[in-house]
Structure 1
């Protein structure tokens, strides 16, 4: 194996090369063996490892991993559309009777608007693409985890979203070992502070729905800070698309309907072990008549 460089795609021998990482930083000062800071290529995970534990991943394997990621996400998007079709053709349209939605009158959907802050610029691009495809109005910013607490309030005031996603990369530091200590997590403290800053601006959990965290994040601290949904109850890895799928479920559920946590878990890859939360009202509203389509 050649010399490891920043930007290389690598895996950890000690973990059976189970996750492909990108090299972020190489630390050589005051250590006997150089250590490397890593971020997951297809997972919202941050980790570190001694340089001699790393193996370089071939470009073919990296491309295959990307293809698998896109295929998984595509399957999730199709699942969302099937769920919506089933809801739309239910006996009473999402709890609305004929007196409220008379037959023969067209109506317009107003799903909840998302503000998405992401510590990973590549993931953000993918998320914004899928928000658009899923009909979720969204605006996103690439903001490092460390900068999110100082940026979130101003961005919230600028965009006035219904749903706020605060995510990026994180990881539990096993050698510290205390799951109830913020120092045991790589970036959870920044997510927690960002949630608190947002709640100072809008404390009501129905007016602003907050989805926060990444892989192995400090779930309890995020919920206590004011998040409606957070990762990771069992400190597992979450899929890079999981936060946006939670946001979609809230965005396209009517405002007079409660979204139960198990319904959110059914909508994502990591399930209830990956993202938990509190009962939360949806954000979808309907308008009638629909005059927009008449002018197209």
Structure 2
């Protein structure tokens, strides 16, 4: 049964999950498209019929392609604006070069990590992807930052808020937020400047305020809602392709995500896209 797609009778089949682990009658579930972790008794689960699997795959693919097209339109506008500015200032025979942005993406889900890396590559971004379980983040973060020396870091995976464990202000009521918070704090010990190391942190229903206070530039989830697996990539891409002399407008970041401002938020941050001249062709 591990790896199968299921829904829960008790929640009227609102979310599709992937079975992660089975321990007796308790089944650990990971959202198939959203970064939510949950558990349920086996009798509460319904295996998704093959016809439903195909239908939802088509619907999700359509949504993902729509977000991708929106981002490409934004990127093209930014590129054309920059090229126009350069043409006014420089001779036509001068070519520019770009410095690539290094992204460290740490993910608590192997399948999500694979999907995210594919999207980074499709968007032309250089990424170092690492699978780390959320509970192990505090023990792994220092070595990874030292090895990769990133300009942007993503710390994500799965999370969930449980009303039975406490109020929304209580970190103990969240499955993994405390691990994300500690990872952000350690990263900020390496670089306290919010514009030198840009951090996205969190997953579904994470405690947004704690992540921002710990030092994240962008985080989830202001309204404790679920976020899509690919949302962190679009946040990163917007920062990576915004010229470093410009600030990243938070609303502009969120409008191309699949979740929007209910699930994601952040603060004004400088872009990281740098160009130089002249371009020298290597032989």
- 1:10: how far off? 1.1
- Distance in 1 (CA, whole Å) between partners of 2:84 and 2:92 is 15
- Please tell me whether residue 47 in structure 1 is matched to residue 43 in structure 2: no
Quote the Cα distance in structure 2 between the aligned partners of 1:164 and 1:131: 13
Deviation at 1:199, TM superposition (A): 0.9
Q: What is the alpha-carbon distance in structure 2 between the residues aligned to residue 166 and residue 89 of structure 1?
A: 32
Contact 2:64 2:258 survives alignment (8 Å): no
d(CA) in 2 for partners of 1:156 and 1:167? 15
> CA separation in 2, counterparts of 1:38 and 1:94?
50
What is the TM-score normalised by the length of structure 2?
Answer: 0.93
Could you tell me which residue of structure 2 aligns to residue 217 of structure 1?
A: 206
The answer to whether the 8 A contact 2:78-2:242 is kept is: no
Instruction: State the alpha-carbon separation in 1 of the partners of residues 253 and 68 from structure 2.
Output: 14
The equivalent position to 2:20 in structure 1, one of 24, 27, 41, is: 24
How does 1:1-296 map onto structure 2 within 5 Å?
Answer: 5-28=1-24, 34-90=25-81, 93=83, 98-99=88-89, 101-292=90-281, 295=282
SS in 2 for 1:272: coil
**In 1, Cα distance between equivalents of 2:245 and 2:115:** 30
Q: Structure 1 regions of 5+ residues with no counterpart?
A: 29-33
**Higher alpha-carbon deviation: 144-153 or 71-80:** 71-80
Secondary structure at the aligned position of 2:88 is classed as: coil
Q: Deviations over 1:138-167 (max 9, x none)?
A: 110111111122111111111111000000
Task: Provide the secondary structure at the position in 2 that maps to 1:22.
Answer: strand
Contact kept, 8 Å, 1:42 with 1:66, in 2: the verdict is: no
SS of equivalent to 1:78: helix
TM-score, normalised by the number of residues in structure 1: 0.90
- Which deviates more, 238-247 or 8-17? 8-17
- What CA distance in whole angstroms lies between the structure 1 residues aligned with 2:242 and 2:48? 42
Task: Give the Å deviation of 1:76.
Answer: 1.7
CA distance in 1, matches of 2:186, 2:54: 39
**Change in 2 beyond 3 A, CA 1:253/1:139:** same
Aligned to 1:31: none
**Consecutive unaligned residues in structure 2, runs of 5 or more:** none
